[in-house]
Structure 1
């Protein structure tokens, strides 16, 4: 295994561990001698990695150190590019631009060989041809700031209603996007199809409670076999 790849694998292994891990376990996992492990740890420490510990006691990586983007493996690059393309194909204009910027920033600092991996990535996603009916950035901002919004929403029969909701999550599915929210009209959690929302009116009013608590409660409800109706 090339040394650069080995150093990356060592860092990734230490990131996943929150408690000290022995040198013997590290060397066995990486398939290297204990002496080589000590040299690799010393090199990473010289480059700024806060790896604490010593032989016989174990090692732990303190938060805050990241390797440069050029240390991505080919599979990691493919995952990043595929995810960015998926977002670009399904998100609103701001998300699409952000996804393209992420790939451009990574590409700019990669060596030529790895840049080619991005340009020639073999994975792709289908383009969604149905345009969005509303600006998702308003919903995302309301979710981030835990603020209520009023939706104009159409049911399957085309009847329109106005709902004041507490937006929690946006789910991206293969052919449809869903807004999970607490609906004040129904006094319960509801799932709203994004393509049936015709208007979003942001509010300055914060909804009661914290979003993460509501999300946990919503997730518990999803495990119960109860039909959801709007």
Structure 2
């Protein structure tokens, strides 16, 4: 039933019992029964058989509780962040780790210190631009003006619409729509020599740009 709630929360349009059953690997009869149980418990699921179901806004799931394996996977991921040199993300990772520890039952909290970590060796090249500025531009759909040095040492000035930050093994890369090239390009953070928010943005276009970029991701990233 929690999986049904999570699925309905992730979709704005109505989902039929058949669609829910297909995603969860259950029968339609089971979905009808579980939705009826959720409604009886006061969970605000609207809809009916044949029409589909939606979850009214404002409903919060109960706090998550992770398995030991899930906790270890999260801790490893958080431990890898310091090698990026992104101070904002490192601070956020420490906060997340503290919240996870505080939220776990005492019997699981005891073993957190023994969870696998990650070595800090082979750090990424330091970024000249603060990654927090790039994340802000992505969230607020703000245009960026950057000075970028390519692999041959040439510096060009670009106006870009940022869509995502990608963490590779040896570098962090900004994916963006380059208005000079009129196409998606990838910029290594350690080669962005200057970056400002010049004004103007692309409000309302971020989701479409990310979808277009994601459709291109199976191919090799196009260098800037």
Same fold flag (TM > 0.5): yes
Runs (4+) off by over 6 Å: 21-24
Unaligned runs of 5+ in 2: 9-14, 22-26, 47-52
Deviation at 1:209, TM superposition (A): 5.7
C-alpha contact 2:184 2:213 (8 A) present in aligned 1:
yes
Deviation track 1:61-98 (CA, whole Å, cap 9, x = no partner) reads 957342334x3211222232222223343251111101
What SS class does the counterpart of residue 126 from structure 2 fall into? coil
Distance verdict in 2 for CA 1:109–1:194, change over 3 Å: same
**How is 1:75-224 mapped onto 2 (pairs within 5 angstroms)?**
75-90=69-84, 92-122=86-116, 124-127=117-120, 128-129=122-123, 130-207=125-202, 210-223=205-218
Deviation at 1:223, TM superposition (A): 4.6
Indicate the residue corresponding to 2:43 in structure 1.
Answer: 50
What SS class does the counterpart of residue 79 from structure 1 fall into? helix
Deviation at 1:146, TM superposition (A): 0.8
- In our comparison, the structure showing a higher alpha carbon Rg is 1
Deviation track 1:104-140 (CA, whole Å, cap 9, x = no partner) reads 1221232222112321113x33325233322000011
Check if 1:11 corresponds to 2:5.
no
**C-alpha separation in 2, matches of 1:134 and 1:156:** 17
Aligned length in residues: 196
Distance verdict in 2 for CA 1:81–1:157, change over 3 Å: same
**C-alpha separation in 2, matches of 1:82 and 1:167:** 28
Unaligned runs of 5+ in 1: 1-9, 27-36, 54-59
Using the size of structure 2 for normalisation, the TM-score is 0.72
Distance verdict in 2 for CA 1:208–1:103, change over 3 Å: closer
What SS class does the counterpart of residue 153 from structure 2 fall into? coil
Distance verdict in 2 for CA 1:93–1:229, change over 3 Å: closer
C-alpha contact 1:89 1:125 (8 A) present in aligned 2:
no
What SS class does the counterpart of residue 203 from structure 1 fall into? coil
Deviation at 1:23, TM superposition (A): 10
Distance verdict in 2 for CA 1:25–1:97, change over 3 Å: same
**C-alpha separation in 1, matches of 2:202 and 2:83:** 31
Indicate the residue corresponding to 1:3 in structure 2.
Answer: none
**C-alpha separation in 2, matches of 1:92 and 1:213:** 27
What SS class does the counterpart of residue 94 from structure 2 fall into? helix
C-alpha contact 2:142 2:203 (8 A) present in aligned 1:
no
Indicate the larger mover: 146-155 or 104-113.
104-113
